[in-house]
Structure 1
Amino acid sequence: MTLDIQTVLIVLLANAVATAIALPVIMGWRVSLAARAFQGASVAQALGWLAFLVATRIDDRLMSSLSMACLSGSFVLLWVALNGWLSARPGRVPLMVLAVLTPAGYFLSFDHYALRVGWSNAGLTLQMLILCAALVAPAPQASRRWRGLVLLCMLTLAAVTAWRGVLGAFFTAEYPFYRATHPVNMAAALLYHVALAMCTIGLLVAWREEAERSLKQQAQTDGLTGLLNRQSFGERAEKIVATAHRYGDPLSLLMLDVDHFKRINDGFGHATGDDALRTMAAALSACVRGGDLISRHGGEEFCVLLNRAGLADGDRFDDRLRAWLRSEVEKLPHALDFSGGLAELQPDESVDALLRRADAALYHAKAAGRGRTKHADIA
């Protein structure tokens, strides 16, 4: 049995349409921007192949140019997905430029077969190579397995697409029209089937990784403020304290409590109280250094582990934090201040012991009238 290119393309269209329908069903609609871009790329692919197949029956120039625009658009959306899943990726500007120039050049050179075939296939090849560059750029948080699978698919497609462009542009007699049953053209169409399935599998794994990272982050952070929760803070603090003991580095812990928080809740409502906690979290985030840890320890209580910092450094941090809050207080409908307890790590002291001393100092600060920070006694 021999296959003609039209039959292969019809099956490819059916595959692309099925994928475009299945992805939202599997993934749902309430997904991240990266996942939404992945879904959009599958729709653009399906529309591109549909436009290509119906082009000769409607308006070949217009519809096949639209096909090129959809295929180019699908690559842009795939880049958006990779940019979301792998962090900032290279190639955004050249990819956008190629996504415009590829269908535009195809449309304008439509009457010159060799030129439009060479132009369009070169444009598509370069877009695939940009996606390959996005896949190989460093991304320590992502699995190499799905990236390698998608990379292999893209490189293979780029190779056959470039080969098809060279045939059409320079060996036109061997590839005289787009639907010619040439081995390279057949290979490209068949490989699109395989690549579509493999890329879909690989990118579904990327989406699963994103979901797992999101769940892990939710388990480690406080939902209201975005700071570390108490358990996660404790786990990370133990490592930092162990390092401080090993190298003899100073380390301090500030435990603080928002003053008169119940008054804020009772007088202005719980939504305003939540805003006060978020403001405190923003103040802490603005004032810490890299390597410090912040947590919402519970209720209106926060904890800051100041790495390589003695009591004097802790006092300076306390001053910065109070100055930041004073600069923001005019924007708030209520006063916002805190009481604090500051403790410096002692030889062989555990995290729990350090927390207890800071908590005792916090209690003394409250008893002394609030709005101040007390140093902990050395046990």
Structure 2
Amino acid sequence: MNLDVNTLLTLMLVNVFAMAVAVPVVMGWRVSSSARFVVGSAVMQALAWGSFLLALPVHDRAFSTLWIGLLGASFVLMWLAVRGWLGPRPGGPVLLVVCTLLPIGYGIGFGNYAFRVAWSNFGLGLLMGMVCLACAWPAPGANRRWRGLIIVCLGALAIVTFARGVLGGFYTELYPSLRTPHPVNVFGAALNHIALTLTTIGLLAGWHEEAERALRIQADTDGLTGLLNRRAWHERAGHMFALARRHSEPLAVLLLDIDHFKRINDHGGHEAGDRALQLVARVLMDTVRRGDIVCRYGGEEFCVLVTRGGVPAAQEVDRRLRRSLHEHPAFGPDIVLDFSSGLALLSGEDAGLEQVIRRADRALYDAKAAGRGCLVTAAGGA
């Protein structure tokens, strides 16, 4: 096959239309906003090149301007997808200004070939560069491989796009049309296939990382309260237990149980019970200190690993939580949420976290036997 510019452009059209179909089929629409931006970017690319097809036979100026505008929008959507996955990224206002001015300037200056080629290529190259910057900007915990793939592919395409702008804007006789077989143009047309395909693969890898992260969160989280579940709490608390033993730091376990939870269910149904659990979870998260680990331990029980500060810090958590629940008007004047709690402190004889938890559980049992609504500290924990 003779890979001239016309052939490469034809293949490009086939490529973007295939991706516009494949990406939504693979990802679907019932996904995160970032994933929808990726789907939207692929669709924008297809619409852009569809407008390019219609330019000469229908209306060159209108459809060529639409082509450039849609291409610019596709890179903005890529940037938005990356921002959704990696957090705040630099250059958002610049990106929107460039994307807005790009088709406007192109349409106004359409009669001047050198201007429109330079304007469009510099603008598109800048948008690609902004996507690369978004991927390169620090993002702790994010996989570098898919980000690196996008940086390499779009970065190379941006450089060639800038070169096209220089060629068309300042050496117009060497590049008098989009189909001119100049080496830079031929290379750029070929690179488009590789770069956009691999960029799409990189974006799909970013989506896959997002999906894996969501699954991990779902596996570690109690669906009703949003707190850690018991398994995930044990995993993280076990790590903190080992650190506390190694550095001889105080560590306490506060185990609490909502008082008369059955009465809440009987009075307002299971919906009231769910609201009570959610309220306790929310207030508990507002009460604990940074570094403490909270979970729904099971049923109406919650557990807090209080790091640093020992028994006084754990008692303060208990006091603040109890006060906040007493003052909360969630269930009206007839029902006041309260809880019984047991507290145990790590001792030098504890071989594992389970021993601390067992002492806290016995202290919780003693709190219930003492009439509920109080905190009991396990022997040796003061």
Counterpart for residue 331 of structure 2: 332
Which amino acid in the other structure matches residue 331 of structure 1? A
Counterpart for residue 368 of structure 1: 370
Counterpart for residue 126 of structure 1: 126
Alpha-carbon distance in 1 for matches of 2:281, 2:365 = 21
1:331 partner SS: coil
Which amino acid in the other structure matches residue 365 of structure 1? A
Counterpart for residue 85 of structure 2: 85
Counterpart for residue 353 of structure 1: 355
Q: 1:10 to 1:271 in 2, by over 3 A?
A: farther
Displacement of 1:273 after TM fit?
1.7
Displacement of 1:3 after TM fit?
3.8
Alpha-carbon distance in 1 for matches of 2:265, 2:317 = 27
For residues 254-292 of structure 1, give each alpha carbon's deviation from its aligned partner in whole angstroms, at most 9, with x where no partner exists. Answer: 111112221222221222221221111111111122211
Which amino acid in the other structure matches residue 311 of structure 1? V
For residues 284-339 of structure 1, give each alpha carbon's deviation from its aligned partner in whole angstroms, at most 9, with x where no partner exists. Answer: 11112221100110111100011002211111111221232234x22334422211
Counterpart for residue 14 of structure 1: 14
The number of residue pairs the alignment matches comes to 378
Counterpart for residue 116 of structure 2: 116
Displacement of 1:341 after TM fit?
0.9
Counterpart for residue 143 of structure 1: 143
Which amino acid in the other structure matches residue 16 of structure 1? V
Unaligned runs of 5+ in 2: none
TM-score (norm 2): 0.95
2:255 partner SS: strand
For residues 138-159 of structure 1, give each alpha carbon's deviation from its aligned partner in whole angstroms, at most 9, with x where no partner exists. Answer: 2232222221111110111001
Alpha-carbon distance in 1 for matches of 2:178, 2:369 = 84
**Is contact 2:326–2:336 with CA below 8 Å preserved after alignment?**
no
**Is contact 1:257–1:338 with CA below 8 Å preserved after alignment?**
yes
Counterpart for residue 152 of structure 2: 152
Q: Does 1:173 align with 2:168?
A: no
Alpha-carbon distance in 2 for matches of 1:364, 1:229 = 25
Alpha-carbon distance in 2 for matches of 1:242, 1:70 = 55
**Is contact 1:9–1:53 with CA below 8 Å preserved after alignment?**
no
**Is contact 2:325–2:336 with CA below 8 Å preserved after alignment?**
no
Displacement of 1:77 after TM fit?
0.9
Displacement of 1:97 after TM fit?
1.4
Alpha-carbon distance in 1 for matches of 2:271, 2:96 = 43
Displacement of 1:4 after TM fit?
4.0
Alpha-carbon distance in 1 for matches of 2:122, 2:58 = 26
**Is contact 2:16–2:45 with CA below 8 Å preserved after alignment?**
yes
Alpha-carbon distance in 1 for matches of 2:336, 2:29 = 42
Counterpart for residue 288 of structure 1: 288
Counterpart for residue 322 of structure 1: 322
Counterpart for residue 207 of structure 2: 207
TM-score (norm 1): 0.95
Q: Does 1:70 align with 2:57?
A: no
Alpha-carbon distance in 2 for matches of 1:70, 1:348 = 68
Runs of 4 or more, structure 1, over 4 Å off, are: none
**Is contact 2:110–2:116 with CA below 8 Å preserved after alignment?**
yes
2:172 partner SS: coil
**Is contact 1:225–1:281 with CA below 8 Å preserved after alignment?**
yes
1:216-365 alignment to 2 at 5 Å? 216-327=216-327, 329-333=328-332, 334-349=335-350, 350-365=352-367
For residues 117-141 of structure 1, give each alpha carbon's deviation from its aligned partner in whole angstroms, at most 9, with x where no partner exists. Answer: 1111111111111111111112232
Displacement of 1:354 after TM fit?
0.7
Displacement of 1:11 after TM fit?
1.8
Unaligned runs of 5+ in 1: none
Alpha-carbon distance in 2 for matches of 1:59, 1:164 = 24
Counterpart for residue 105 of structure 1: 105
Displacement of 1:160 after TM fit?
0.6
RMSD of equivalent CA atoms: 1.6
Alpha-carbon distance in 2 for matches of 1:324, 1:101 = 53
For residues 80-116 of structure 1, give each alpha carbon's deviation from its aligned partner in whole angstroms, at most 9, with x where no partner exists. Answer: 1111222222222211111111111111211222122
Counterpart for residue 183 of structure 1: 183
2:266 partner SS: helix
Which amino acid in the other structure matches residue 282 of structure 2? A
Which amino acid in the other structure matches residue 284 of structure 2? L
Displacement of 1:366 after TM fit?
1.4
**Is contact 1:86–1:141 with CA below 8 Å preserved after alignment?**
no
2:222 partner SS: coil
